[in-house]
A and B are shown apart, each in its own frame.
Chain A
Amino acid sequence: GENVEQHPSTLSVQEGDSAVIKCTYSDSASNYFPWYKQELGKGPQLIIDIRSNVGEKKDQRIAVTLNKTAKHFSLHITETQPEDSAVYFCAVRGEGANAGKSTFGDGTTLTVKP
């Protein structure tokens, strides 16, 4: 099955700095790559996603880049704010037998220091 590795497991940055989280995956047939933010006591919330026919997507301070050849994708948060502090998960979803099934990374705890 699909294997997703996420790094780093913890990340601490100063307010205003950028944060980058990277995920690698194993199944080259995977074609949908969402990122979720999970705050304490809440379920994961989709913040941005990218499909395999696109190399980069941006939404205000958040961007995701995808390298299908190397099978990795990254979340970039610029001008970080204390409210960005949370656990971030990447996920991977494929087609065929894996259609509809998302495999998640183990999460990155981001702390933004004011």
Chain B
Amino acid sequence: EAGVVQSPRYKIIEKKQPVAFWCNPISGHNTLYWYRQNLGQGPELLIRYENEEAVDDSQLPKDRFSAERLKGVDSTLKIQPAELGDSAVYLCASSVRGGISGPYYEQYFGPGTRLTVT
């Protein structure tokens, strides 16, 4: 079974430029997460999707970050414009939720995209 796929793996951009990250979750996983991981810290949730609906985006800086999950499968996270403080690893994870109000099962993480803003 293929794992969570992310691209690109590395990205270096100048501040004020736009950048986009792509994630392909594990087949059949209806829940998708985007996390940001700063150096020396644990992942912090940015947004969580159930199918194509964003059910928790409270930690997403909406002035510059946007995300979409068309058709409830792949997802894209965008930053425009990027700031120096956005340098981090952006992780995508997916899991299965057992029904509308069912339990959430284990999360599987992709390898992440390391973003450097200069």
Residues of A near any B CB (own CB < 8 A): 4, 6, 32, 34, 36, 41-46, 49, 89, 91, 93, 99-102, 104-107
The answer to whether B42 and A43 touch across the interface, beta carbons within 8 angstroms, is: no
Cα A32 to Cα B104 in complex, Å, equals 10
For residue B65, CB closer than 8 A to chain A, the reply is no
The answer to whether B97 and A100 touch across the interface, beta carbons within 8 angstroms, is: yes
Shortest Cβ distance from A104 into chain B, in angstroms? 3
Tell me the interface secondary structure of chain A in the complex. strand
Give the residue among B44, B56, B107 with the most A Cβ atoms within 10 A: B107
Q: Which of A41, A100, A102, A106 contacts B111 (CB 8 A)?
A: A41
The answer to whether A99 and B42 touch across the interface, beta carbons within 8 angstroms, is: no
The answer to whether B108 and A46 touch across the interface, beta carbons within 8 angstroms, is: yes
30 A/B residue pairs, CB under 8 Å, sorted by A: A4-B42, A6-B42, A34-B106, A34-B107, A36-B109, A41-B111, A42-B111, A43-B91, A43-B109, A43-B111, A43-B112, A44-B43, A44-B109, A46-B107, A46-B108, A91-B42, A99-B104, A100-B31, A100-B48, A100-B55, A100-B56, A100-B97, A101-B45, A101-B48, A102-B45, A102-B107, A104-B43, A104-B44, A106-B40, A106-B41
